[in-house]
Amino acid sequence: MSTQAKLPSRLHHTAYVTRDLEATRRFYEELIGLPLVATWCESDELFGAVRTYCHTFFELADGSALAFFQFEKPEDQQLFGPEMPASPFHHIALNVDQEAQHGIEQRLRAAGYKEPELYVLEHGYCRSLYVKDPNGMIVEFTHDSPEAVKPALVEVRRAKARQELARWLAGDRTSNNVFR
């Protein structure tokens, strides 16, 4: 057996607690376009008590999913479902192409989303569309600049990753974003 760590093959799912499964379903399925592919209604003994919950999965193109829980009892909901942080730096980012990003943006705007719940950031190396979902979670739909994903540049970024981190940690705050 090899001692080399085998990398995970892909994200299976990332899970969050929702206050309202139906509002969450409408947002992800009807506005974003992610199909609801599984709903598990379960009761399990967790942490000394039986917890009854519903667990839904919205599929991404690679088969991974965004998953959401809603608990039957308000006390379980409170215990396991703290509010989402307001920080825009705590979010999930989903890779999309330019056409998909445009379509998502148009559907969200048609549904009444506008700043500050919906905004675009041009990072240079990618264009990001941010939206706050019904749970207060920020979801980013991003597509990379064709220049940023050229193999030679990707190789350089990978080779310099530790060096750039060390530079930052040592106090050098000079931008290394060549796309801005």
pLDDT per residue of the chain (180 residues) written in tens, 0 to 9 = 566 788 788 899 999 999 899 999 999 999 999 999 999 999 999 899 999 999 999 999 999 999 999 999 999 999 998 787 778 888 999 999 999 999 999 999 999 999 999 999 999 999 999 999 999 999 999 999 999 999 999 999 999 999 999 999 999 999 999 888
Contact 139, 14 (CB under 8 A): no
- Which residue blocks in the chain are alpha helix, DSSP H? 21-25, 74-80, 98-110, 151-169
- Cα–Cα distance between 143 and 80 in angstroms, integer? 32
Q: What is the pLDDT of residue 1?
A: 54
Q: What is the pLDDT of residue 2?
A: 60
* All domains of the chain in start order, with CATH: 1-82 (3.10.180.10)
Q: What is the pLDDT of residue 106?
A: 97
Sole residue written with tokens 């703290």: 82
* DSSP secondary structure letter of residue 90: S
For 47, phi then psi, to 5°, come to 55, 45
Sole residue written with tokens 């048609």: 110
What is the Cα 28 distance to its own chain's centre? 12
Q: Which two tokens stand for residue 68?
A: 């959401």
How deeply is 128 buried, as exposed, middle or buried, from its count of CB atoms within 10 A (0-12, 13-18, 19+)?
middle
Q: What is the pLDDT of residue 84?
A: 77
- Cα–Cα distance between 94 and 132 in angstroms, integer? 14
Q: What is the pLDDT of residue 83?
A: 80
Sign for the pseudo-dihedral over CA of 93, 98, 100, 103 = positive
Q: What is the pLDDT of residue 17?
A: 94
Q: What is the pLDDT of residue 88?
A: 82
For 81, phi then psi, to 5°, come to -120, 60
